[in-house]
C-alpha cells in the first residue's frame, strides 16, 4: 500500500492541468481538484517551471515528493507524450509548455489479463474480442491474455465457441451474480500483475492499452481508466445527447480520481487495475454502483486512480428512451448504499457557510446582502493570505493576495451556481419545484439555477443538438437519477444522500 507522499519515479514528465493558474511570477499555483493554493519557494517555482516546459523529474527525493504533491492535488498530470487539451490562460498554454517524450516505462500488454464478463450478448462479445486483437497496444504486436467469464448465459456453448474463435479462455458461472461477481471470478483466475476489466459491449480503439499502461510505472497507481465514447455516432436526439453527455464519459481532461475530485469516479466498463491493489475485487452483492465503490476503496487505501482520456474505448450506449431512463434511475438507487459505505462522499452539494449564505440571500430576493457576504468573505480571505504569505514567503507581486482572494472567494461564489443548480435538478426537484410554484419570488431564481448547468454544458460541449433539446434531455436525465436516489433512500431508510454539506469537510480530494 503506497504512502500518502510516496515520491514519483525519477524521469516522469508532468503536464499542467488546463485549469492551473500561475500567480505571482509562478511562485503560487492555483488549481487542482478541488481548487487549492500551493505556495512554492523560489527553488520550487524554478523546478515546477522546468517540468511544465518538458523537463523530467530528477532523482532527488525532494523533487519527486513535490511532483507527487502536484499530481495528488490535480494541479499537474503525468505526460507520456500525447498532447492535452488547450484552455485559455492556463499554465498549459505557456509558450514554454510542450509535449514530452515517454517517461518511465510501465508494464507491457503480455503483463495484462483482460477479463470480460458477459451474459447472452453474443454479437457484442464477438465484436469486443475482435477489437481486442491488434488494438491492445497500438504499435506493439503482443496481445494480452483474455478471459471471458460467462455469467450463466442461456447458451453457454455459443459463448464458448465465440471465445474459442478469438483464442480467449472461458470460465462458466452456473449462477448469475452480476458484473461485479463475474469480474471477481476473472480476477481470481488472472495470473498476471495487471487486469483489464472490459464490458462485452465495449469496442477497443487502437492504442487504448498502450496509453494506459505507462501510468503504472508509478508504483502508487492502482488503477487507470480510459475515456468511454460512443462506438458509433447516433442520429436520434437521445443518441446525440448520449454522445455528448453519457454518464460513462468523464470528458477530455485527465484527472486524479477520488471522492471530491473533478472526476470523482470512473466506470467499471473499462478499467485497468494493478493486481496487488485489487484485493478481493468488487463488493459481493452490489449490482449497481459496485464500480464506484471499488474505485473509492482503492483511493481510501492510498492507491492513486487516474483517468486518461487519450486512451479511448468505444461503447454501445442505450439510445431507446425506456432503457436509457431506467438505467439512469438504477444509477441513482446506488447513492444511498454508497453513502452508507463511504460517508459524506455522495452528497448533492458541498459549500462554505459564506457561499451558502450568499446564495440563500440571493434566492430570498436580497441581492445587497448576497453581495455584502461575498465581499466580506473575499476581504477576510485576502487578509488571511496576506498575513500567511508575509510570515512565510513575501509575495513578489503587490496585490497578489487580493487577486487570489477575488479568484477563490468571489469567483467561487459565482461558480457555485452550477453545483447548486445541479443539486436542484438532480436531487431536490421534488421539493424545489413545488416550493417555487408556491412562492412567487422563488420562481425565476429557481428556474434560472436549474437551467444554468445544462445551458453552460451545452456552451462548453457544443453537441450536435440544439440547446432546447439538449436542455430537455439533461433535465430528463437528472429527473431519472433523482427518482432513483429517492427510491434508494426510502429502501435504506436514510436521508443522507439528500442533504448538503455546508461548512463541513469535503470528501478527501
pLDDT at 144: 86
pLDDT at 33: 83
Burial label for 292, CB within 10 Å (0-12, 13-18, 19+), is buried
pTM given for the model: 0.90
Strand partners, 308: 226
Cell numbers describing residue 476: 430528463
Cell numbers describing residue 44: 520550487
Q: How far, in Å, are 197, 245, 457 from residue 465 at the CA level?
A: 32, 11, 12
At 248-288, the pLDDT tens digits run 999 999 999 999 899 999 999 999 999 999 999 999 989 99
At 9-34, the pLDDT tens digits run 999 999 999 999 888 778 888 899 88
Q: How far, in Å, are 57, 132, 153, 172, 373 from residue 185 at the CA level?
A: 39, 20, 15, 9, 55
Q: Which residue ranges in the chain fall short of pLDDT 50?
A: 83-100, 136-137, 140, 391, 396-398
Count Cα atoms within 13 angstroms, Cβ side, for 196: 29
Orientation angle between helical segments 178-189 and 290-300, nearest 10 degrees = 50
- Spatial distance between the Cα atoms of 76 and 78, rounded to a whole number of angstroms: 7
Q: Which residue has the cell 466506470?
A: 267
pLDDT at 506: 67
**Rounded-to-10 torsion of CA 384, 385, 386, 387:** 50
Orientation angle between helical segments 353-363 and 440-461, nearest 10 degrees = 120
At residue 32, the 3 state secondary structure works out as: coil
At 144-172, the pLDDT tens digits run 899 999 999 999 999 999 999 999 999 99
pLDDT at 408: 85
Task: Quickly list DSSP for 37-96.
Answer: EEE--HHHHHHHHHHHTTPPP-S-HHHHHHHHHHHHHTSEEE-SSPPPPP-TTSGGGSTT
3-state secondary structure 305-331: EEEEEEEEEEECCCCCHHHHHHHHHHH
- Spatial distance between the Cα atoms of 395 and 392, rounded to a whole number of angstroms: 9
Cell numbers describing residue 249: 464519459
pLDDT at 382: 84
pLDDT at 233: 75
pLDDT at 276: 96
pLDDT at 137: 44
pLDDT at 397: 47
Amino acid at each position: 500500500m503506497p504512502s500518502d507522499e510516496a515520491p514519483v519515479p525519477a524521469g516522469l514528465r508532468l503536464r499542467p492541468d488546463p485549469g492551473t493558474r500561475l500567480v505571482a511570477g509562478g511562485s503560487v499555483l492555483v488549481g487542482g481538484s478541488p481548487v487549492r493554493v500551493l505556495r512554492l519557494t523560489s527553488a520550487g517555482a524554478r523546478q515546477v517551471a522546468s517540468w511544465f516546459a518538458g523537463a523530467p523529474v530528477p532523482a532527488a527525493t525532494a523533487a519527486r515528493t513535490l511532483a507527487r504533491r502536484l499530481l495528488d492535488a490535480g494541479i499537474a498530470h503525468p505526460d507520456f507524450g500525447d498532447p492535452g487539451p488547450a484552455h485559455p490562460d492556463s499554465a498549459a498554454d505557456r509558450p514554454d509548455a510542450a509535449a514530452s517524450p515517454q517517461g518511465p516505462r510501465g508494464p507491457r500488454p503480455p503483463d495484462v489479463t483482460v477479463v470480460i464478463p458477459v451474459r447472452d450478448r453474443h454479437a457484442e462479445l464477438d465484436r469486443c474480442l475482435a477489437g481486442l486483437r491488434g488494438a491492445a497496444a497500438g504499435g506493439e504486436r503482443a496481445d494480452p491474455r483474455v478471459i471471458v467469464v460467462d455469467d450463466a448465459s442461456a447458451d453457454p456453448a455459443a459463448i464458448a465457441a465465440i471465445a474459442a474463435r478469438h483464442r480467449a479462455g472461458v470460465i462458466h458461472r452456473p449462477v448469475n451474480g452480476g458484473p461485479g461477481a463475474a469480474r471477481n471470478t476473472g480476477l481470481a483466475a488472472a495470473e498476471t500483475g495487471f487486469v483489464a476489466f472490459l464490458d462485452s459491449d465495449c469496442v477497443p480503439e487502437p492504442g487504448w492499452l498502450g496509453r494506459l499502461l505507462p501510468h503504472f510505472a508509478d508504483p502508487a497507481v492502482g488503477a487507470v481508466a480510459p475515456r468511454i465514447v460512443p462506438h458509433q455516432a447516433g442520429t436520434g436526439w437521445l443518441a446525440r445527447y448520449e454522445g455528448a453527455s453519457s454518464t460513462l464519459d468523464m470528458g477530455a481532461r485527465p484527472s486524479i480520481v477520488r471522492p471530491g475530485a473533478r472526476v470523482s469516479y470512473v466506470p467499471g466498463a473499462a478499467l485497468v487495475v494493478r493486481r496487488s491493489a485489487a484485493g478481493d475485487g468488487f463488493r459481493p452483492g452490489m449490482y449497481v454502483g459496485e464500480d464506484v465503490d471499488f474505485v473509492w476503496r482503492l483511493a481510501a487505501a492510498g492507491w492513486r486512480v487516474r483517468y486518461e482520456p487519450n486512451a479511448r474505448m468505444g461503447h454501445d450506449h442505450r439510445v431507446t428512451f425506456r432503457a436509457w431512463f431506467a438505467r439512469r434511475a438504477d444509477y441513482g438507487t446506488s447513492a444511498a448504499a454508497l453513502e452508507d459505505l463511504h460517508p459524506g462522499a455522495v452528497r448533492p452539494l458541498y459549500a462554505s457557510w459564506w457561499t451558502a449564505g450568499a446564495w440563500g440571500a440571493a434566492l430570498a430576493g436580497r441581492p445587497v446582502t448576497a453581495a455584502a457576504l461575498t465581499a466580506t468573505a473575499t476581504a477576510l480571505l485576502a487578509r488571511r493570505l496576506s498575513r500567511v504569505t508575509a510570515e512565510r514567503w513575501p509575495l513578489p507581486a503587490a496585490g497578489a493576495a487580493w487577486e487570489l482572494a477575488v479568484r477563490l472567494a468571489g469567483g467561487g461564489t459565482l461558480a457555485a451556481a452550477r453545483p447548486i443548480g445541479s443539486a436542484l435538478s438532480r436531487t431536490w426537484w421534488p421539493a424545489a419545484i413545488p416550493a417555487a410554484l408556491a412562492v412567487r419570488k422563488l420562481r425565476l431564481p429557481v428556474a434560472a439555477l436549474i437551467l444554468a448547468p445544462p445551458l453552460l454544458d451545452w456552451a462548453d460541449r457544443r453537441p450536435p443538438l440544439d440547446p432546447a433539446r439538449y436542455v430537455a434531455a439533461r433535465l430528463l436525465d437528472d429527473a431519472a437519477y433523482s427518482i432513483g436516489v429517492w427510491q434508494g433512500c426510502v429502501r435504506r431508510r436514510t436521508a443522507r444522500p439528500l442533504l448538503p454539506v455546508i461548512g463541513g469537510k469535503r470528501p478527501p480530494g
